Amino acid sequence: MIAEIIAVGSEMLTPYRQDTNSLFLTARLNQLGVNVAFKTIVGDNWDHLTGVARTAFSRSDIVIFVGGLGPTEDDLTRESVAEALGTELKRDHEIVTAMYKRFAERRIPMPDNNAKQADVIPGATVLPNSRGTAPGQWLETMYEDALRIVLLLPGPPHELEALWKGQCEERLRAVIPASAIATRILKTAMLPESAADARTAPIYQRHPEVETTVLAGQGQVEFHLRATAATMDEAQAAVDCLADELQDELGDAVFSTAGESLEEIVGLFLQMRNLKLAVAESCTGGMVAERITSVPGSSRYFLGGAVVYSNDLKTLFADIPPLMLEAHGAVSREVALALAENIRELCNADIGVGVTGIAGPGGGTEEKPVGLVYIAVSDGQKKEVVQRRFPGDRERIRRWASQQALDMVRHLLM
Amino acid sequence: MIAEIIAVGSEMLTPYRQDTNSLFLTARLNQLGVNVAFKTIVGDNWDHLTGVARTAFSRSDIVIFVGGLGPTEDDLTRESVAEALGTELKRDHEIVTAMYKRFAERRIPMPDNNAKQADVIPGATVLPNSRGTAPGQWLETMYEDALRIVLLLPGPPHELEALWKGQCEERLRAVIPASAIATRILKTAMLPESAADARTAPIYQRHPEVETTVLAGQGQVEFHLRATAATMDEAQAAVDCLADELQDELGDAVFSTAGESLEEIVGLFLQMRNLKLAVAESCTGGMVAERITSVPGSSRYFLGGAVVYSNDLKTLFADIPPLMLEAHGAVSREVALALAENIRELCNADIGVGVTGIAGPGGGTEEKPVGLVYIAVSDGQKKEVVQRRFPGDRERIRRWASQQALDMVRHLLM
């Protein structure tokens, strides 16, 4: 069985936006043993969309439309798919009622155009969208004597993903032949990409039965392993064996072996040891705190802290003596250490983090260039500060620095 | 005239790789006044590729194939295009000779399979590739009574880009009608998507000469306008006219007319008025500060603030009386206002922001459900607090709340 993903939206035909939902869908389809044979990107244009739908139905077993389910005039997916299938939409009044309720809860009157989101292809199962107004649709139908599975899904990634996991996978599994694909993800922190690859390539090349993909971001290198076999035991054994060998080589640079983010791992460690964290950030401007608090339940181990962007606030919220700022500069080893230690004490936390640096693009000097960052952690007894020169633009430098800070907390807790 | 870009390569049908060449090609085609109507991604599969070629020739004036021109068995673009056009490749012996020379210069024997890179579609012009072995091809041909321009280009970006700029643009300019494309982007804050569309659809529908795309995120609706005309003046006048009408309708919900982000606009306003900002965030956990400091130069108007995640820190860093927390709860109108006003005073800032709410997924009650957020701003004289119930998951609720906070600062400064 082959699948086709059709991303609908004129914005994805500009130089500025790209379809990214298909990456998520491809990963999930692959896990079910289904290959994606075609991806098509088409604009909000009746003729184009209807033509694309006909082409897809004629060549692919599973056709997944993403986007174009909203309330606006531009949203034409429902209508075009019905037209391509030679049928007409029917309005589902239960959905209309549910939409009225949703708006009423938020005390906003529902605009009339919203009702078109309740138009359903005859024979389709409606897939309620818990995170948005536009429901998805699932249809099994014959097209030119072949069985086709047709899916209409909303474009916003969080809606799409929830709907896919909650309502599409089980349905698909029931209609496609079973096969076993096992995957593992190993994530490492603060390992240079080229070093990571040089050390691991000889290992994963010895295991052609496992498909290995190496992905690198700011301070993070991930190994995605994937094996297909007759049984799940066999597939799992293959990825586990390679994962073990890679972990032996990479040691404690590996922070996650089951997909967790670095902020989740740090949270788990803090919670297990019943410790509280506080942070004082200058150049990262809240990014460390934002990453930590992106994890549900982080209030159990994160107290908060200060964004000490100006020098005055470094003194006000983290007791940094003005004389220290004058003597060493705000971007210095001394200030980073004092930020970590003082924020820990002031907040009555167990561990403190301090970050200060030059994110650029302005503000660099020969002595203190853009990308220079000092990151410190302290638990009162053990104090550590590192100096780093991160590459890239403002956003990348800040991301690297926040990654380093989280990784230092992880090492302190190991 | 419409163009279709076909990216050829099975690796782009995995979860890990994406076609990116099409962004470059789209930008360059748009500059020539050509719209991209379809993008298709297809694997190295004879039947699939031949079918995709036929579909493209039947619907698009300019069909650009990228990739699949190498020497391996997998490289099928030349053969498939010839098949779809009902013709047969001819080997060009001049190209073969040039390839032998290229290899001889590098003192490597040429593998035999390389010769297939010299196979040319009858009637096509060969486009020498200065950065690789596989030449491109340019063909003007009739397909089902319509003139089609067919381009075969290599996949490696640096080869593609050099070949495009050096040998394709001039040729295209000579055969397509001269035209220009002008664009404008209008961004609005905190306007519900359906309301924004209901108010604007009657306006942009009166301007079919401008292609309007509406994009919505958390608390942000964007209108992307695009017009094609004989001259740039004419195209620009068309988008400017619609932009003005839309702005009249949407009023001060529009925060940007030239692509700036909300945090950039807030920064510009603060800088123009020489005012300083400080923030005290609970549920957003640093996201407001992170967004503000993502803008280069934000130290000129942003002092910093506190991430007051725990109740103790609300008292420590923002002077919130424990009695107030007890009486109203941390998530309350009173606490939000006090956070904004106190952080302003403490930091010696001109404007203070306070955010407190329940981002979930846990922690909600019937009285204070997940998504409930209070956001306050104060400049000492004018104090404002709003209560909102944001939809979605933790990440979206936090994003909505940070958007509301930034938008309230913008309104205070208007």
Give the residue, A212 or B315, on which the prediction is more confident.
Answer: B315
Name the residue among B192, B286, B297 with its Cβ closest to that of A293: B286
Q: Are residues A170 and A240 in the same domain?
A: no
Q: What is the CATH number of the domain that holds B235?
A: 3.30.70.2860
Name the residue among B205, B287, B296 with its Cβ closest to that of A361: B296
Q: How far does CA A201 lie from the centroid of its chain?
A: 26
Q: Which residue has the tokens 């050509």?
A: B34
Name the residue among B39, B286, B348 with its Cβ closest to that of A286: B286
Judged on CB neighbours under 10 Å (0-12, 13-18, 19+), B323 is exposed
Does A194 reach chain B within 8 Å, measured CB to CB?
no
What tens digit of pLDDT does each residue of A179-208 get? 778 889 999 999 987 788 889 999 999 999
Q: Are residues B204 and B304 in the same domain?
A: no
pLDDT value for A43: 96
Q: Which residues of chain B are within 8 Å of residue A39 when distances are taken between CB atoms?
A: 12-13, 40-41
Name the residue among B211, B309, B389 with its Cβ closest to that of A303: B309
Phi, psi (5° rounding) for residue A150?
-115, 125
Mean pLDDT of B205-217: 90
Q: Is the ipTM of this complex over 0.85?
A: no
Q: Are residues B155 and B6 in the same domain?
A: yes
Interface of B with A in 229-258 (CB under 8 A): none
Q: Are residues B225 and B317 in the same domain?
A: no
Q: Are residues B206 and B153 in the same domain?
A: no
pLDDT value for B74: 81
Q: Which residue has the tokens 């321009």?
A: B149
Domain that holds residue B165: 2-175
What tens digit of pLDDT does each residue of A159-173 get? 999 999 999 999 999
Q: Are residues B16 and B109 in the same domain?
A: yes
B87-120: b (≥16 Cβ within 10 Å) or e = eebeebeebbebbeeeeeeeeeebeeebbbbbbb
Q: Where in B128-245 does DSSP place strands (E)?
A: 136-143, 146-153, 180-189, 210-217, 220-229
Tokens of B57: 């020739």
**Contact B37/A42, CB-based, under 8 Å?**
yes
Q: Are residues A120 and A167 in the same domain?
A: yes
Pairing of strands B383-389, B372-378: antiparallel
Interface of B with A in 286-345 (CB under 8 A): 286-290, 292-294, 296-299, 302-310, 312-313, 316-317
Q: Are residues A384 and A287 in the same domain?
A: yes
Q: Are residues A242 and A289 in the same domain?
A: no
pLDDT value for A133: 79
Look at residues B396, B355, B385 and name the one whose alpha carbon lies nearest to residue B373: B355
CA pair distance B283, B404, nearest whole angstrom:
13
CA pair distance A143, A49, nearest whole angstrom:
17
pLDDT band at A177 (very low <50, low <70, confident <90, very high): confident
Domain boundary (B212, B232, B256) is at B256
Handedness of CA B104, B158, A396, A329 (dihedral sign): positive
What tens digit of pLDDT does each residue of B67-115 get? 999 888 788 999 999 999 999 999 999 889 988 888 888 787 888 788 8
pLDDT band at A114 (very low <50, low <70, confident <90, very high): confident
Compare all CA atoms of chain A with the CA of B310 and give the residue at the minimum distance: A303
Pairing of strands B35-42, B2-8: parallel
DSSP run (H or E) holding B272: helix B262-272
Q: Are residues B268 and B388 in the same domain?
A: yes
B394-409: b (≥16 Cβ within 10 Å) or e = bebbbbbbbbbbbbbb
**Contact B307/A309, CB-based, under 8 Å?**
no
What tens digit of pLDDT does each residue of A245-293 get? 999 999 999 999 988 999 999 999 999 999 999 999 999 999 999 999 9
Q: Which residues of chain B are within 8 Å of residue A289 when distances are taken between CB atoms?
A: 285-286, 289-290, 307, 309
Does B46 reach chain A within 8 Å, measured CB to CB?
no
pLDDT value for B312: 97
pLDDT band at B54 (very low <50, low <70, confident <90, very high): very high
Q: Are residues B289 and B358 in the same domain?
A: yes
Domain boundary (B256, B283, B306) is at B256
CA pair distance B196, B189, nearest whole angstrom:
10
CA–CA distances in Å: residue B186 to residues B222, B247, B272, B326, B399: 6, 8, 21, 44, 20
- When the pLDDT of each residue in chain A is averaged and rounded to a whole number, the result is 94
Q: Which of B19, B21, B26, B38 to mutate to test the interface with A (most CBs of A within 10 A)?
A: B38
Q: What is the total count of domains within chain A?
A: 3
Q: Which residue has the tokens 């190209």?
A: B95
CA pair distance B36, B34, nearest whole angstrom:
7
Q: Are residues B165 and B196 in the same domain?
A: no
Has residue B410 got a pLDDT over 80? yes
Q: Which of B211, B307, B310, B312 to mutate to test the interface with A (most CBs of A within 10 A)?
A: B307
Domain boundary (A175, A210, A227) is at A175
Q: What is the CATH number of the domain that holds A397?
A: 3.90.950.20
CB pairs under 8 A between A and B: 257
pLDDT value for B19: 93
Q: Where in A69-204 does DSSP place strands (E)?
A: 90-91, 119-120, 125-127, 136-143, 146-153, 180-189
Interface of B with A in 384-413 (CB under 8 A): 389, 391-396, 398
- When the pLDDT of each residue in chain B is averaged and rounded to a whole number, the result is 94
* pTM recorded for the entire structure: 0.79
